[in-house]
Chains A and B, each alone.
Chain A
Amino acid sequence: MANNQHAAPAPVGGSLVNAVTLTCGVLIAVMLAILLVRFLFGLGSVTGLNDGYPWGIWVVFDVVIGSAFACGGFSVAMLVYIFNKGEYHPLVRPALLASLFGYTLAGAGVIFDLGRPWNVWHMFNPWSINLNSVMFEVAVCISLYIIVMWIEFSPTFLEQYGKAEAKRKLGKAMFFIIALGTVLPMMHQSSLGTLLVVLGVQIHPLWQTPLQPLLYLLTAITMGYAVVLFESCLTSTAYRRKLETHMLTPLAKIMLGFLAVYLVVRVADLVVRGALPRAFEPSIEALMFWLEMLCLAAPLLLIGAEANRRNPAKLFLAGVLLMLGGALLRLNGYLIGYETIVGDSGGFSYFPTLPEVLVTAGMFAIEVLGYIIITRRFPVLPRENAQATH
């Protein structure tokens, strides 16, 4: 790790009151008001959920897609500490911070969606747990991972509050926390795919396969890198900092590697199962499938060449496309390709209501607000003046 001479992270500083933070505040207030109604009058009072579509955007967007977007911390930590690529070290903290918020809110968001949240402790009650349930595995893993991530991120707070001794002690155990922090997301990100297996023939053949865990894991890792590209470009622009292209260009290459493996597995699975002809039917499902594949294949063309990977605009676009493609895989599997009664919609339809969308927006606002507050007040991003010498 000779090339590990990085600028130390430092608070960005600046005011916490601006147009963005105020907007976030308003969105969060609206969300809280809607949640009050939800808890007083039931899920039906604010959501478009029904027995044909028991899961809506609070599950599919906030948890399934949201946690995949929050894989940046996991993907980068794996790269730096497991694959020993120390040169990406400055990306760890910001990525981890975004993941921390993504996951913590996904975990909290689940509570809004639970119909009987006061019973949630049964998830950890040895006399209640069901080891056959994929949902159980996902819930326990995500809960543990949230705790692990807070510990992984805690040196940032310890540094700011001058607790050097505590930080040193924690540092000794950090290798294990980091190992846990790579295994746990592998487990639950793959299981988020396995969740669909028990739904059997209710899931369109384009999205129902025993390889589900592998497909979801590979896309989660890929999306993790894509989110880092996205975040890094966005943060640099918003804080008027130098773009981190020197790290993002090689990172994008690794991302494309995972993406290529995914595409091969995905297409091979469709061919072997004989599901590919279903992609050529005149249906919404087929259309969404091609949209998903387009978003996931386009980055290979867009930044496949080394020269293009040095172009920040193309990197950003590729990152966004990959995030969109991974999100579509999940949206298609969980909602578009889901039919409650096979061959018959049973008269059910689902479209998110405005309050549902506003709650999801409120959750996103908490993430943005938290990211701004913490990066401005705590040492997360690399110190800017030192950056120039790099």
Chain B
Amino acid sequence: MGTRRDFLKGVLAGSAAATTGVVATSALARETRPRPPEALGLLYDGTLCVGCKACVAACKTANENPAEFSTVDKLWDTPLDTSGYTFNIIKMYRNGTMDAKDQEVNGFAFMKTSCMHCGDPSCVSACPVSAMTKDPVTGVVGYNPDKCIGCRYCVAACPFGIPKYQYDSPTGRIGKCELCRHRHEEGHYSACAEVCPTGATLFGRTEDLLTEAKRRIAMKPGEMNRFPRGHLLSAQDKNAKVAANAKGVKMRNGWREEPDQTYETQAGKYLQHVYGEKEYGGTQVLKLSGVNFQKMGMPDLPPDAAAAMSETIQHSLYGGLLMPFAVLGAMTYVAKRNVKPEDEESGKGGS
């Protein structure tokens, strides 16, 4: 038999997967997905935060999470980072003499750490069993423990280090902020924003929050300005009629009606950067700070989500299973010629 010819055929078939895959990568590129238009999120304004941690406590209650201790007396819930049992935490930046707030040198500052609800989340792309999903309307990244196999690919994938696993339990779950989506039905929004006394954590449509964030960074530091608290109402919310539901609770466009909580205070010294506007194609949680975001523990991310690149490669290679079947076809053809049924009984002297 023409072994050289067969060999060449084999080489061709064998290298098909690799080379075609690489060439196809550029052709089938999937763009980074933007956040959905009606995406919900939070705006965290570090300059307004007083570090009271009411949001940390409210988050624990809303998600029925146990206290975590880091002090000897174990009297208070004192988590040092987010964990499988802590979905939200306020971290403190300290430098030198800590003379003034929101000052990088000899100052201090606060930063909220919780899920950013990415427009194109790595955890959702990574999860093999769709236990991590992104709501097509609200964009909330939710977790379903009934599907989760505990592979922790989401933990590894998230650039913010958000999904966390409960390593101390034989039935450990992934824990992360789901924007209190379980409270939305009753008209409640995220507990952290609901309790925030200064409006440092504000709930609303991300588009509205982005406008609000841009309004704030344009303010003159020290100037008196009005700041909303709790829920930043959308134009649609404002126009909606307030009506009592079956339980007699006053509702406005699906949310519980609240008195106006806007207040007046001095504008902080903002960096001209809305964190989350462009990072990874945009997140639904936005952040403002007076101190460099990387110093505050937020990663410096490119405008393209890693999920876009990963899925581009994945679908270039396996889209419609075209390439695997093509290679399988080639391999089957070549193997059919080379493998003789007697071949296995090599004692008989091959084919």
Q: Which A residues have a C-beta under 8 Å from some C-beta of B?
A: 1, 4-9, 39-45, 47, 49-52, 54-55, 78, 80-86, 89-90, 113-117, 119-120, 122-123, 125, 128-137, 139, 155, 167-168, 171-172, 174-176, 178-180, 182-183, 186-187, 190-191, 194-195, 197-202, 210-214, 217-218, 338, 340-344, 346-347
CA distance A78 to B6 in the complex (A): 12
On whether the beta carbons of B147 and A119 are closer than 8 Å, the reply is yes
**A52 with B344, Cβ < 8 A, contacts A116-B148, A133-B128 known:** no
Closest A residue to B26 using CB positions: A210
What are 20 inter-chain pairs, A to B, with CB distance below 8 A?
Answer: A40-B170, A42-B168, A51-B84, A82-B14, A86-B351, A119-B129, A119-B131, A125-B129, A129-B128, A133-B128, A175-B332, A176-B335, A187-B317, A197-B306, A199-B122, A199-B157, A211-B22, A213-B18, A341-B159, A341-B160
**A200 with B297, Cβ < 8 A, contacts A51-B165, A132-B311 known:** no
CA distance A199 to B339 in the complex (A): 42
Closest A residue to B332 using CB positions: A179
- Give the distance to chain A from B341, nearest Cβ to Cβ, in Å: 4
Residues of A within 8 A of B167 (CB): 42-44, 47, 49-50
CA distance A135 to B310 in the complex (A): 11
Q: How many residues of B contact A (CB 8 A)?
A: 88
Closest B residue to A111 using CB positions: B149
Residues of B within 8 A of A210 (CB): 25, 309, 313
Whether a CB of chain A sits under 8 angstroms from the CB of B136 is no
As a 0/1 sequence over residues 160 to 176 of chain B, the CB contacts with chain A under 8 angstroms (1 = contact) are 11001111111111100
Identify which of B11, B84, B125 contacts A133 (C-beta below 8 A). B125
Residues of B within 8 A of A44 (CB): 167-168
Q: Which of B109-144 contact A (CB under 8 A)?
A: 122, 125-131
Whether a CB of chain A sits under 8 angstroms from the CB of B307 is yes
CA distance A202 to B299 in the complex (A): 9
Per DSSP, chain A at the interface is helix
Residues of B within 8 A of A50 (CB): 167
On whether the beta carbons of A128 and B7 are closer than 8 Å, the reply is no
Closest A residue to B30 using CB positions: A132
Residues of B within 8 A of A45 (CB): 168
On whether the beta carbons of A344 and B297 are closer than 8 Å, the reply is yes
Closest A residue to B346 using CB positions: A6
CA distance A82 to B336 in the complex (A): 9
CA distance A217 to B339 in the complex (A): 24
Closest A residue to B132 using CB positions: A130
- Give the distance to chain A from B22, nearest Cβ to Cβ, in Å: 6
Identify which of A5, A117, A134, A174 contacts B314 (C-beta below 8 A). A134
On whether the beta carbons of B331 and A179 are closer than 8 Å, the reply is yes
On whether the beta carbons of A176 and B332 are closer than 8 Å, the reply is yes
On whether the beta carbons of A175 and B336 are closer than 8 Å, the reply is yes
CA distance A55 to B156 in the complex (A): 8
